[in-house]
Structure 1
Amino acid sequence: MQASTGLVGWALLKSPLLSYAFPRRTGEVLVPFLDQPPRPPASQANLLDWNYLDSWITPNDKFFRVSHYNMPEVSVADWKLEIVGMVESPLTLTLSDIKERQRQSVISTLECAGNHGFPTFTGAIGTARWSGTALAPILKEAGILEGGIEVVFFGSDEGEEEVRKIKMLQNFARSLSVADAMRPENLLCYEMNGVPLPKGNGFPVRLIIPGWYGIANVKWLKRIEVRDTRYMGRFMARDYVTIREEKRDEKSVWMETSVGQAQIKSLAAKVTRVGEKYRIYGAAWGRPIKLVEVRLDNGPWLKATFDLTQEAEHAWKIWHYDWGNPSAGEHTVVSRAVDVHGNIQPRMDDPAITGKRTYWESNGQVVRRIQIN
């Protein structure tokens, strides 16, 4: 994280402005969208209700939780992190060892790769201040040997897998290339918003890889292993794989890619009114965002306004658009984000979306419906 954004983020965490991420107006009244998602199953705990998003930083008790195996019981007294494999000097670190190292923080938005992939799963996203120690110096201290190309991160959560009739007890694991693992912003994280990680968010230590989907941010971390071959476990090669149909000379070519870096995305979150003056609020994230535009009833694209009081390099940008006094009746509202390289969040009929056959990485423009009385 750049020093300037880090200082801004830290100051805001201590500021009462934190509760007002959407620049509220006195006397605002919520005007609900007509397309409210169905109530999620009870197992999908803590999904964000966009109607009540009012904080740039998501409180810990409101942060989404997703796990794929069990939620392990981890004792701090017994917990150790191993750094092994193709390294010159294997390491074993306790939580105290990690906390004694130089502290580093990053404010980062974390989104589940399946968010908006199906109707009941639309709020698996949040932004937090993650604190711990940088991963890269530890890997440098261990000394990656020549030929080590992949860094695999194993969690304490485990479950049974079966491949070709071979049953095995596996720990959750994801991997990064050495180059991606060595990015300076990556953290071995032990605090979330100034307190120890909650159990559901990876206590006592998790991996934080800013700018990547949640699946890459391994929780309940217990082992880091450097390997000389690509790691092809379930969550790299069989699950969390996006399947796309691409056309080449009018023929279909099927591409399978592992879910990784977050895609550009935005959403119109809610609409409020004060008297007859309406305002649309939303957020944009996934890539460095240059601007957000709003479209009303298939009209022209209109530039939204960012809340510049609260910014960080890897955090969502909060935006609003003052609608004025719209006519009575049903309207549509859609937003699109544009990143600093000119890439535009795709429409739902874009080949990048229509050719996708899995629900991961769902970043198409979401059209909302609203009734103005």
Structure 2
Amino acid sequence: MSRAQWINNIRACDRVRHKGDAIMQSSQRADMHIAVLAGGMSAEREISFSSGKNAVNALKQAGFGSVEMLDPADDGFIDAMRAGSFDVAFIALHGTGGEDGMIQHLMEYLGIPYTGSDAVSSVCGADKELSKVLYERAGIPIAAGVTVHRGEQVDAEAVFEQLDGALFVKPAINGSSYGVTKVTKSDELAGAIARALEYSDKALVETCLEGTEITVGVFGDEDLQALPIVEICTPDTVDFYDLSVKYIVSDDIHRIPARLPEDVYARAQELACRAHRALGCSGFSRSDFIVTADGPVILETNTIPGMTDTSLFPDEVLHAGMEFSDVCARLVEMAIERHERR
């Protein structure tokens, strides 16, 4: 990234901070009651708790007077939300029950403003098959692939011939690399699909793209901006960026800003913003790409990026010159603005 691009990013971040400060003063924050929703019932439950704890600390640092973490998997959760007089629900749930629109529908039913994308956009982002349709309509390059539904018979040889080469098999509705397998032989495909179907009712089988893996955070609503890009450097000891390395803190694995030519860097940021809009996201998102010889190809968009100590979105925020607490506060403000517009 050029020096001019860095300066423009920081100026954009300053505008976001100043806009947020003008909307909600510290005295207003002190009177607010925020429910941070974390945990849930997905395979990403423990990751969600880590995100939730960081969000609680950030919101307290930002000056919100009462911040309480609640687990939707607990008995009495709905009664607690009804009785809590919460001004905003800060959603830090990942996977099923968090990013699939369920909790967003519930918050809308209860009339509680909530952070991030709405229920419909969450469904679009969680369903990777649907996402690919929307990406393609928006002119965003996608990987070639097929969808396999539970109970469907698959001709492994035909799939390998159609997709030509090594394949990635993953749940069509899930995140954090659960149930993802790299397949290099046709006789491995059935087992990989079975693993993916442990986490979803359908599996995606996609061409394994060669290139540099990157992730691009996006922040804002009307004033949408792409954050500095993270380059994923997968160790030689693993086949791909899986759970064994995903939550390791190391500059050898996560390089920011990504080492890309300026035009490719700008293209990836533009595509991340386009993906955010194509899915109808709000507040923030993070899109993953493989940078091939022909340019960036999108893999997926996370509508609720991880916020753990080793997650990529908070790192991007810091490298953009913002404080994570300011970003969390702005997400709360945007939630209120969107609720008032409904």
TM-score of the superposed pair, with normalisation by structure 2:
0.25
Higher helix share: 2
Higher gyration radius (CA):
1
Q: More strand by proportion, 1 or 2?
A: 1
